[in-house]
Amino acid sequence: MKTDQLKGISCMIGAMFLISIQEAFAKYLGETLPVAQVVWARYLGHLALMTVLLWPRHGTALLKANRLSMQIGRSLILLIDTILFFFGLTMIGLAEATAIFFTVPLLVLLLSIPLLGERVSTHSIIAIIIGFMGTLVIVRPGIDSIGTSSLGIGALFIFGAACCTAIYNVSTRKLSDSDSLPVTLFYTAMVGAVVTSFYVPFIWQTPSNIEQWTALTVIGLFGGLAHSLIIIAHQYAAATTVAPFMYSQIFWALALGWLMFGDLPDVYAFIGGAIVIASGLYLFQRGRKEAHQTYPDPYEEQLTP
C-alpha cells in the first residue's frame, strides 16, 4: 500500500474514536447487565466481523496456527484483559480508565527486556518511572481514601488489564515470526467468543430496551473495525508516525464520559494523565531518533480490550 501519512494518522484517530465508543457502551451496559455478558457480546461481534472480512479470502487456513498453544494462551490473556477492563469501567470514569491504560507502552517496554532481549536506554527507564508516577497521581493511593475506594479498586482492575495487554502484545510480536496476521487476528476473536459462549447461558439477562440491544450488537463490531483501522494505519505510515495519535483517545473519552455519564475527571486525573502521555510520547520520540534500537510496538494489532 502506498505511503500516505495523513491517511495513516486519520485511520489511527478514527480507530481511537471507535474504541472509545466501544468502551462507553461497555460502561453503560455494565451498569445494568452482567459484565460477563457484555464481554461475550464484545467477542461475538468481533468474531462475526473477522469472519466476514477474513474467511472469504483465507478460508480454513485461518485455523492453521503453527504455534497453536501460544495462540490460545495469548487470546486467553486478552480475554482476562477485557474482563478486568470492563469491570474497572463500572467503577471509574472513562477518562481515568483511559489515562491509566496508557501505561501499556511503558509496560511493553519493560517486558521487552527479559522476553524479547531488547536494549532499553537509561532515558527510557526514567520515562517509564515518570509514567508510573503519573499513574499514582491519578489513583492517589492512601490519599483522601474516604469515598474513593471504588476509584482505587477500579484503577487496580484497569492497571491489571494494562498488564495483560502488555503481555498480549509481546506475545503477538513473538508470534509474528511463525503465524500470519490473519491467523492471529482470527484466533484473537474466536477464542474469546468460544470461551464466553460456554458460560453466557448461565448468566444471561435479557436486555430491557432497544438501547441495550443496540449496544450489545455493535460493541464487538466497533472493536473489530477499530483494530482493522489500526492495521490500515500501519500500512499507510510508520508505527512511530501513527502510534502517538493513540493518545487522541483521551479526548474522546473525556467527551463521551461527560455526555453519557456526566463524569468529569478531577485535577489529579488531568495532571497524572498529562504525565503518562508525556512519558509515552517521549518514548516514541526516542524510538524514532535511535534507529539502532528496536522497541516493541504494541499498536500494530490491538490497543485496548
User: Does 262 or 123 have the greater pLDDT score?
Assistant: 262
Cα-Cα-Cα-Cα dihedral sign, residues 121, 250, 93, 195: negative
CA angle, corner 252, sides to 272 and 124, nearest 5?
Answer: 40
Average pLDDT in the chain:
83
Separation between Cα atoms, residue 243 and residue 292, nearest integer Å: 19
Q: What is the pLDDT of residues 45-74, one digit of tens each?
A: 999 999 999 999 999 999 999 999 999 999
Separation between Cα atoms, residue 46 and residue 40, nearest integer Å: 10
For the chain, helix (H) and strand (E) counts, in that order, are 12, 0
3-state secondary structure of 17: helix
Q: What is the DSSP string of 253-296?
A: HHHHHHHHH-----HHHHHHHHHHHHHHHHHHHHHHH-TTS---
Q: Sorting pLDDT into bands at 50, 70 and 90, what band is 118?
A: low
The radius of gyration of the chain from alpha carbons, rounded to an integer in Å, stands at 19
**From 59-63, 82-86, 225-229, 258-262, the region with the lowest mean pLDDT:** 225-229
Q: What is the DSSP string of 134-165?
A: HHHHHH-TTSS-TT-HHHHHHHHHHHHHHHHH
pLDDT value at residue 200: 95
Q: What is the pLDDT of residues 66-88, one digit of tens each?
A: 999 999 999 999 999 999 999 99
Q: Which residue type, as a one-letter code, is found at position 37?
A: Q
Closest CA to 170 of 295, 16, 305: 295
**Statement: residue 239 has pLDDT above 70:** no
**Statement: residue 295 has pLDDT above 60:** no
User: Does 198 or 1 have the greater pLDDT score?
Assistant: 198
pLDDT value at residue 1: 54
Q: Sorting pLDDT into bands at 50, 70 and 90, what band is 227?
A: confident
Separation between Cα atoms, residue 93 and residue 151, nearest integer Å: 9
Separation between Cα atoms, residue 83 and residue 89, nearest integer Å: 10
- Are the C-beta atoms of residues 145 and 152 closer than 8 Å to each other? yes
Determine if residue 92 is left, alpha or beta; phi over 0 gives left, psi from -120 to 50 gives alpha, anything else beta: beta
Exposed, middle or buried: residue 177 (CB in 10 Å: 0-12, 13-18, 19+)?
Answer: exposed
Q: What is the pLDDT of residues 153-177, one digit of tens each?
A: 888 899 999 999 888 888 877 787 7
- Are the C-beta atoms of residues 151 and 92 closer than 8 Å to each other? yes
CA angle, corner 186, sides to 184 and 192, nearest 5?
Answer: 105
